[in-house]
């Protein structure tokens, strides 16, 4: 049976950011780094993989650990973290995993005969004289590798460009030979960092990190996280190592720049860094990205939205939603978990995560415990938004709350719309249900729940009746 697909698309207790999606043999595979719930740094876990059939994007399967953090000879003691990886199919038909350890400046490679089998360490990307890429004089430290293989050549894109560091020039592309390791053409800068953006057309959206490469027809799309961090941008070229021109923003994990339902510079969620890429599934294109939970930078979850590639190759920015891979709105009946909120904010706007006064998506237990996510720390004016639902004949709404918060939840269908219902909640240290009649118009609708009251409440779920 086909399942509804949500954002995040994986279970609420799984934290796989930096998603690189690919379709192999009728399944979508997502490769990413691995955060922990309550993690204190990025990428604390082994590489794991999840996949779903292309015709049922709500039915994700855990493929297990594909590469443990101590498999790299430089990291036998496991003290370094596995940063964002990418995968490509080599000329020999095998799957090659490219990654950089958090305290290293070189690119490591692992290989496997299957998309989600157990990858084995293969080697380090190096020049023909054996010097590792990243360690030769004039090299820049390698970071966030993105790879594309065609015609026996692999294009490797790396880079990290913080503001104020003129030693980092941008996203840099190198060409590797058919052995998947040897540099045949040395790195060249293809997208400028902020220190080198003037006069390039990338001003304000210069390269920061997260290089990812895709090809659509005869055009190369280089996806990257800009200096603003919360957005994924793209640049295009007809050649893989030169001529890239800024295209625009694909997605922002706080929905900045979108002006169709709010002011353009109003953040609708707590964003931070971003990393992801595009994939074509059943003739439709999607952008995979990540969001931040638990009020920190270190517990990130994968999300996805449908893209539209226009005839001229441009891609308009997409809204963040709760139903990204679903192919349309969610059913406007039944119960939905609160962690599906795509919007989370208070009357104090913030585009970046952090701060004890803000609500946060969280869970009980420890990392790995299969506990349902919920929204905690909902203080006065905290709003959770869910988009979209195909509403038909909705006459009531029920919520499940917990916590020492005596107040009211207001129900709206837009962030600034009229209040359609008010649901009174009381102090409780267990989950309690509260219900109210509500008239939600038929058709495609959003649901916004705003808490007004004392102290703070937690929201586990809501149901449209």
Catalytic residue numbers, as ranges? 18, 209
Q: Strand, helix or coil at 3?
A: coil
Distance between CA atoms of residues 299 and 293, nearest Å: 6
Q: Strand, helix or coil at 97?
A: strand
Distance between CA atoms of residues 79 and 70, nearest Å: 8
- The three-point CA angle 176-180-184 to 5° equals 20
- The three-point CA angle 222-223-228 to 5° equals 130
Q: Return the DSSP state at 226.
A: E
| Chain Cα centroid distance, residue 286 | 12
CA distances (Å), origin 70, targets 79, 84, 96? 8, 16, 18
- Please list, in sequence order, all residues whose beta carbon lies within 8 angstroms of the beta carbon of residue 21, skipping any fewer than 6 positions away: 28, 29, 30, 31, 277, 278, 279, 286, 288, 304
- Please list, in sequence order, all residues whose beta carbon lies within 8 angstroms of the beta carbon of residue 311, skipping any fewer than 6 positions away: none
Distance between CA atoms of residues 330 and 100, nearest Å: 38
Distance between CA atoms of residues 258 and 317, nearest Å: 7
Q: Residue 94 is encoded by which pair of tokens?
A: 């095998």
Q: Residue 92 is encoded by which pair of tokens?
A: 């020999």
Distance between CA atoms of residues 428 and 180, nearest Å: 58
């Amino acid at each position: 049976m086909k399942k509804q697909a949500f954002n995040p698309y994986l279970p609420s207790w799984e934290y796989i950011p930096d998603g690189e999606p690919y379709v192999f043999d009728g399944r979508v595979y997502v490769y990413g780094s691995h955060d922990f719930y309550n993690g204190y740094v990025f990428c604390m876990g082994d590489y794991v993989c999840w996949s779903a059939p292309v015709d049922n994007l709500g039915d994700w399967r855990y493929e297990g650990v594909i590469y443990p953090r101590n498999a790299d000879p430089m990291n036998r003691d496991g003290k370094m973290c596995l940063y964002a990886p990418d995968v490509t199919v080599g000329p020999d038909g095998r799957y090659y995993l490219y990654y950089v350890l958090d305290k290293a400046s070189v690119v490591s490679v692992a290989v496997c005969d299957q998309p989600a089998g157990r990858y084995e360490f293969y080697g380090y990307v190096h020049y023909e004289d054996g010097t590792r890429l990243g360690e030769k004089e004039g090299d820049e430290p390698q970071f966030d590798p993105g790879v594309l293989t065609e015609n026996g050549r692999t294009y490797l894109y790396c880079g990290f460009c913080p503001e104020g560091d003129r030693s980092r020039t941008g996203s840099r592309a190198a060409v590797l030979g058919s052995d998947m390791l040897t540099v045949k053409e040395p790195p060249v800068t293809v997208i400028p960092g902020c220190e080198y953006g003037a006069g390039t057309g990338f001003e304000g959206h210069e390269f920061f990190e997260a290089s990812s490469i895709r090809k659509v027809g005869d055009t190369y799309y280089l996806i990257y996280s800009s200096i603003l961090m919360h957005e994924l941008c793209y640049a295009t070229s007809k050649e893989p190592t030169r001529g890239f021109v800024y295209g625009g923003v694909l997605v922002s994990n706080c929905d900045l720049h979108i002006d169709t339902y709010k002011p353009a510079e109003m953040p609708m969620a707590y964003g931070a860094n971003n990393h992801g890429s595009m994939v074509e599934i059943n003739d439709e294109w999607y952008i995979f990205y990540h969001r931040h939970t638990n009020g920190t930078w270190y517990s990130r979850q994968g999300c996805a939205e449908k893209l539209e590639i226009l005839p001229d190759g441009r891609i308009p920015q997409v809204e963040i939603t709760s139903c990204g891979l679903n192919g349309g709105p969610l059913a406007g009946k039944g119960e939905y978990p609160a962690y599906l909120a795509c919007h989370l904010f208070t009357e104090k706007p913030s585009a970046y995560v952090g701060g004890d006064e803000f609500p946060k998506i969280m869970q009980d237990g420890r990392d790995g415990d299969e506990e349902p996510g919920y929204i905690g720390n909902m203080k006065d004016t905290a709003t959770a938004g869910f988009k979209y639902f195909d509403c038909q004949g909705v006459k009531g709404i029920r919520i499940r709350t917990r916590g020492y918060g005596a107040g009211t939840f207001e129900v709206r269908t837009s962030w600034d719309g009229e209040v359609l219902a008010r649901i009174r909640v009381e102090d409780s240290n267990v989950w309690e249900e509260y219900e109210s009649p509500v008239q939600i118009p038929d058709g495609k609708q959003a649901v916004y729940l705003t808490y007004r009251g004392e102290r703070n409440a937690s929201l586990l779920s809501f149901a449209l009746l």
